[in-house]
Structure 1
Amino acid sequence: MTDLALLRVLQLASPALPIGGYAYSQGLEYAIEQGWVTDIDSAAGWLGGLLEHSLARLDIPVLLRQYEALERADDGALFSWNDWLLANRETAELYLEDSQQGGALLRLMCSLGVPAAQEWPTGEPLALMTGLAMAGQHWHTGAHALALGALWSWLENQVGAATKLIPLGQTDAQRLLDRILPSLPAVIEIARDLPSDELGAGLPGLAFASARHEHQYTRLFRS
């Protein structure tokens, strides 16, 4: 991996990337309101469950396949995985979170001259992982490093939400990151070895929390 490719991964994973990732809690806000998540230990359990049963089996496997599709110039596979990923969002909030971030990233990639983004059909919804695959393949980051960057970005945003909502102190937030970070490479290994007919997430608690989130009396986050 070249220094420039590493810097591109850091660019895509940065909270300064203008796609609004910090605005979403993915049901965590509701889980905290209901007392499912109350401290660093329960937060680690919640986030670990999402990593193992959602990102490792849905988002990251699709990201790896889309990167490979772009390497082969296989537009059919790219579009198919994009549509399949969006179809797997179980609530309107989760769908909007994915497609809104994907749309924001698409506009950014177009302004940065990424060809796959510039050729994306107008009005066609774009999943966030699809946009990341476009940028990563164009900048030759490698699929593994790109997936690590995507996982880190997700984790940082989720820990940021937990810090505000539980709330956690800054030291506990770093302890939470320290606890979960070592598991990220294993997520990629699971995703890489998973057959395509076994892809999919099964988290009814997440779907329930996401569906109920819009009915909370007060909300800081969009999902």
Structure 2
Amino acid sequence: MVTVAPWATTTRIDMAMPDRLSLIQWLSPAFPTGGFAYSHGLEQAMAEGLRNADGVASWVADVLRHGGGWTDAVLLALVLRGEDADQLTDLARALASSAERLAETMDQGRAFATTVAALTGRSQPERPLPVAVGEAARHLALPAAEIIAHYLHAFAANLIAGAMRFLPLGQVQAQVALARLHPLIDTLARQAATAGRDRLEGCCFSADLAAMRHETLDVRIFRT
């Protein structure tokens, strides 16, 4: 007797698949947000001596846990739960720790909103990136934790891809570094999905200071 795995049957249909594919498209490197131009301060850290895959992965993990990754995740969760997007836009702007960080989230959010509006026909006001993603993703039949996990994965993947362009870091090394972040991304996404405004906290001084110093870096390939 041959046992057929459930995923191999043609009658089993995932009704959320179209929404999931939309989310994957929105957070893909091919989506025109210009994310490739931003390093979140990582370029400065690499210029100051962060030169290997383990160091980059550790730096990105700290940003996910304690810095912009975490605050973005909570802001995204709040929008998905229906909180006022105008208020969260003001809050997200206030949470930006430097001029470059503010430009990073606003520029990408503006580009994201413009393209999603063209795709969906729904009005998308200009917002910081996590708020813009949350407004668009409210309409998707997907769990909040899944949406947040995809967002954080795209966030981390963009930074590691940036490190590949700056360092002698091979593709396999970069993919291993990203894969090692998967358990952390899963944990943070689940925590953020139920977090309230009181969890909007950050303590990632090294990354914040790197972003500030990057404003005067003489030779650079990233805008932040």
* Among 64, 73, 85, the residue aligned to 1:60: 73
The amino acid across from 1:200 in the alignment is E
The letter of the residue matching 1:9 is: L
Match of 1:111 in 2: 118
Per the alignment, residue 215 of structure 1 pairs with 216
Distance in structure 1 (CA, Å) of the matches to 2:99 and 2:68: 18
Q: CA deviation at 1:56?
A: 5.6
Letter of the 1:155 partner, please give it. A
Q: Is the CA contact 1:109–1:135 (under 8 Å) kept in the aligned structure 2?
A: yes
Instruction: Give the TM-score of the pair, scaled to structure 1.
Output: 0.88
Instruction: Kindly indicate whether the alpha-carbon contact (under 8 Å) linking 2:76 and 2:131 is maintained by their aligned counterparts in 1.
Output: yes
Q: Distance in 1 between matches of 2:103 and 2:187?
A: 28
The percent of aligned pairs where both chains have the same amino acid is: 28
| Structure 2 unaligned regions, length at least 5 | 1-14
Q: Does 1:3 align with 2:4?
A: no
5 Å-filtered alignment, 1:43-122, equals 43-55=56-68, 57-69=70-82, 77-117=84-124, 120=125
Alignment RMSD (CA, Å): 1.7
What is the Cα deviation at residue 11 of structure 1?
Answer: 0.7
SS at match of 2:219: coil
- When normalised by structure 2's length, the TM-score is 0.87
Q: Following the alignment from structure 1 to structure 2, what is the Cα–Cα distance between the partners of residues 164 and 134?
A: 32
* Structure 2 partner of 1:185: 186
**Counterparts of 1:3 and 1:57 in 2: how far apart (Å)?**
27
Between 1:25-34 and 1:185-194, the stretch displaced more is 185-194
Alpha-carbon distance, 1:55 to partner? 4.6
Aligned residues: 210
Task: State the shift of 1:138 in Å.
Answer: 2.3
- Counting helix residues as a fraction of each chain, which structure ranks higher? 1
Q: Does structure 2 retain, via aligned residues, the 8 Å contact 1:114–1:134?
A: no
- Higher alpha-carbon deviation: 138-147 or 5-14: 138-147
Query: Which structure: larger Rg?
Result: 2
Deviates further, 10-19 or 141-150: 141-150
Give the drift of 1:196: 2.1
